[in-house]
Amino acid sequence: MTLTRVKFSGSEHKVKAMPTQDVKERFRLIVREVFQKALRPRQFKRKGITFYRQLPPIIQLVNIQSSVWNAPGHHSFTINLGIYRSGLVQVLYQRAEPQIPSLASVPLPLSSRITRLDADLQKDVWWEIRDTDPLEQDERLISELVWRLEQHGIPFLEYFDSDKKILEYFEEYCVKHPCGVLEMEQFAVLAYLAEDMDRCRWGLEQAVRRLLQRANDHEWVEHIPNWLKEISDLANRIYPEANMDQTLFTLNRDKDQRE
């Protein structure tokens, strides 16, 4: 997907000056203003500091994450985005589907810090509120956050409007980045939910290959048998025709021959 480069040029959203210097209260008011201006008009709902829009079978997520290092007089936070495909948790973990999924349930390739989508930044940014900052600074911060959501966050979320786009983006991501065993299991389940069984089998096989690549890592060795069983059990649930037991045998044999 392609995101347009548009630079933030200043305050466009006028809000009343924040009535307090307490940074926790100022943070709460900033979050409220951003929700009212950027998300509520697009039918997002709120649960705590997570905002979500349900477009079955897809759920779009915006999460405002506070730093664990916050202290009196100082509050920093960032914005995370994610796409959740209904059925993923139920199929992968055999647990009840979450009504409102957390970012922890979202596969890494389908999530992003909002500033990483800005072609001029492409890095994590944490915004700060200090009790020594003038209250007027909050107005500019609200304007910037609304602007980033409108220019980068919402387009990112709205891009994933089908299983096909989710799988294509996920697959392309894993070509460019080192996806691990879990990501390939998630990919296989997403393909299964989309009834794309060729991609489902590919995801399962890639999960095994990437696991076996860690066979010489002493921190992984003792866990490999359990991981292999987990992948085999998953395959037997979602694609028994793939005969994953035979695939595991073949991949293990090929690995042994190379060694």
In angstroms, the CA 41 to CA 224 distance is: 48
Contact in structure between 224 and 215 (CB atoms under 8 Å): yes
Which pLDDT tens digit goes with each residue over 146-166?
999 999 999 999 999 999 999
Structure tokens at 114: 């909002």
What pLDDT is attached to residue 211?
Answer: 87
The C-alpha atoms of residue 172 and residue 79 are separated, in whole angstroms, by 24
Residues 39-73: pLDDT tens digits?
A: 999 999 999 999 999 999 999 999 999 999 999 99
Annotate 205-229 with DSSP letters as a single string.
HHHHHHHHTTTT-HHHHTTHHHHHH
Maximum CA extent, the chain: 71
What b-and-e string marks burial along 178-201, b requiring 16 or more CB atoms within 10 Å of the CB?
ebbbebbbbbbbbbbbbebeebbb
Distance CA 72, CA 86 (A): 39
SS3 (DSSP) at 18: coil
Model-level pTM?
A: 0.86
Give the number of other Cβ atoms within 10 Å of residue 170's Cβ: 25
pLDDT number for residue 213: 84
Within the chain, which residues score under 70 in pLDDT? 1-20, 242-259
pLDDT for the residue numbered 228:
87
